[in-house]
Chain A
């Protein structure tokens, strides 16, 4: 029996019924990793020995008759920008090639009963939409190895789609969970800003970053959210709001739910097959008793420009810490400034350097008002669009991406073209809202299509309910 492609909730049942052992399950996933990892390249680091030992400990617990948590003993992948104590955390950058965190990120610590298979590949410092910006290797889409898995959490989504992990954690600053989830045909959720502690998540853009689950179905998504959400003293931006039991949202019922379709997300440039698939989802929701309401989010066209000023500005500031002094790589120089310059020039990749320069340019004297401050003001307008829309609807339905997974190398020479990929996802980060990507079929070329549901702040529950309903009926 192959176990590596089952969901966490199925595997939990098998574990508690003693039909399988955690050791057996972990061995099955690891042997599948051995089979496919050369082709997919989902991982930067594989933690085979730890996984094997941890699985044994879970089996001993089960043998003692103790209850296990829903994700206990379940193999997972953790994006390599989430700190894991004693396990190398590289951010897919040469500057952190040998960085071994002295502490765990809170989100990972909350999942410590799961079995870590490895640290997942990503775009360097989460800057990218294809995982081609990894300093180590490019991850390939399990559905078509000539195509990208999306990014920046492309290793995490490829691991889940390719049977190399049952679930994964990613991080989402402008779509980095949802876009690769749609490219790889899995479920990806970016919670409300502040829902999941960012303690131990290597900072990219602090006002936008959020950790979230990548899973094979909505039920698993709810289980991972239950595990990782909640206030944390170690993150001053983490919300004190109560966390509901998200499994309570796993009911098939959208009667009376108002779902908005924003016209700005269905404009020219969007793949016709994606548009059809997403409109079919809307029809399905209508048949199931939801009300579909056409609406407008008028500032959508400004979201990319706003994001690509705010995110690089925050990144330029956050990445100042890589100076060759207290951790990370150092390249020697005659004096301190030369040492820092040599280190950063040699160890940062091209895209990271580009964003640092855009950020510092936008923040520099004489340009601050025209670029950075302007972007912060437009952010207010983008957020207001959503506030107005949520006066009329409970959820907003859009495509996750304007096109399906593109070919490796297709966009690397044109960074701006790559940035425009993020049009459907960045507004959600700018407004701090929760959003999910759910698979809704494949194109004629057999490439996965995803749709996005956006919810009100802290209303992950309604998103999950609608997503679950749709998943049951598609």
Chain B
């Protein structure tokens, strides 16, 4: 086993996910199996190989700085789980 239960807890927390006690073993087993499989890349020498993030040549795209209509506020808020006075509403972030 390459990764530990603690590693799983850390990565779950980074991902804003919670692993239930009863599923922890299975999650650990499956992730280890996959991470062990992807180890086969280590067999390749990539010393002088550049990484590829996009397969086709990409360049920064510029456009004119012109004002164009954008999504109306009502529409932008239409899927909000909770809203108030034209804002998204979330639980308190800062201490009172």
- Best-surrounded residue of A306, A334, A377, A432 (most CB of chain B within 10 A): A377
B46 pairs with A381, CB closer than 8 A: yes
Q: Closest chain A residue to B14 by CB distance?
A: A360
B79 pairs with A327, CB closer than 8 A: yes
Fill in one digit per residue for B18-33: 1 if any A CB lies within 8 Å of its CB, else 0. 1000000001001101
Residues of chain A contacted by B1 (CB below 8 angstroms): none
Q: Which of A98, A308, A309, A457 contacts B56 (CB 8 A)?
A: A457
Fill in one digit per residue for A291-333: 1 if any B CB lies within 8 Å of its CB, else 0. 0000000010110111011000000100000011111111011
A373 to B18 Cα, complex, angstroms: 27
A464 to B58 Cα, complex, angstroms: 26
Fill in one digit per residue for B49-93: 1 if any A CB lies within 8 Å of its CB, else 0. 111111110100101000000010001101111100000101111
A379 pairs with B16, CB closer than 8 A: no
A380 pairs with B49, CB closer than 8 A: yes
Residues of chain B contacted by A452 (CB below 8 angstroms): none
Within the complex, the shortest CB–CB distance from A403 to chain B, in Å, comes to: 19
A377 pairs with B49, CB closer than 8 A: yes
A324 pairs with B81, CB closer than 8 A: yes
A308 pairs with B46, CB closer than 8 A: no
B51 pairs with A358, CB closer than 8 A: no
B91 pairs with A380, CB closer than 8 A: no
Within the complex, the shortest CB–CB distance from A26 to chain B, in Å, comes to: 29
Q: Closest chain A residue to B36 by CB distance?
A: A416
Whether A416 contacts B15 in the complex (CB less than 8 A), given A99-B79, A334-B91, A380-B50, comes out as no
A354 at the interface (CB under 8 A from B): yes
A431 at the interface (CB under 8 A from B): yes
A327 to B76 Cα, complex, angstroms: 9
A353 pairs with B17, CB closer than 8 A: yes
For this complex, into which size category does the number of interface residues on chain A fall? 35 or more
A305 pairs with B56, CB closer than 8 A: no
A344 pairs with B17, CB closer than 8 A: yes
- Best-surrounded residue of B14, B49, B55, B93 (most CB of chain A within 10 A): B55
A345 at the interface (CB under 8 A from B): yes
A377 to B8 Cα, complex, angstroms: 26
- Best-surrounded residue of A333, A348, A361, A415 (most CB of chain B within 10 A): A361
A159 to B38 Cα, complex, angstroms: 35
A335 at the interface (CB under 8 A from B): yes
Residues of chain A contacted by B18 (CB below 8 angstroms): 341-342, 345
Within the complex, the shortest CB–CB distance from A199 to chain B, in Å, comes to: 13
A354 pairs with B44, CB closer than 8 A: no
A376 at the interface (CB under 8 A from B): yes
B46 pairs with A377, CB closer than 8 A: yes
B11 pairs with A361, CB closer than 8 A: yes
B30 pairs with A340, CB closer than 8 A: no
A358 to B63 Cα, complex, angstroms: 36
A103 pairs with B71, CB closer than 8 A: yes
| Chain A, range 159-210, C-beta contacts under 8 Å to B | 192-194, 207
Within the complex, the shortest CB–CB distance from A210 to chain B, in Å, comes to: 11
Q: Point out residues on A near B: beta carbons under 8 Å.
A: 98-100, 102-103, 192-194, 207, 233, 236-237, 239, 299, 301-302, 304-306, 308-309, 316, 323-330, 332-342, 344-345, 348, 353-354, 356-358, 360-361, 364, 370-371, 373-381, 383, 415-416, 419, 430-433, 457
| Cβ contacts A to B, 14 pairs, < 8 Å | A302-B41, A305-B41, A309-B41, A316-B15, A329-B81, A335-B91, A354-B30, A360-B14, A361-B7, A370-B42, A374-B41, A376-B52, A377-B49, A378-B44
The 5 A-B residue pairs whose C-beta atoms are closest, nearest first, are: A432-B55, A376-B51, A327-B79, A330-B81, A377-B46
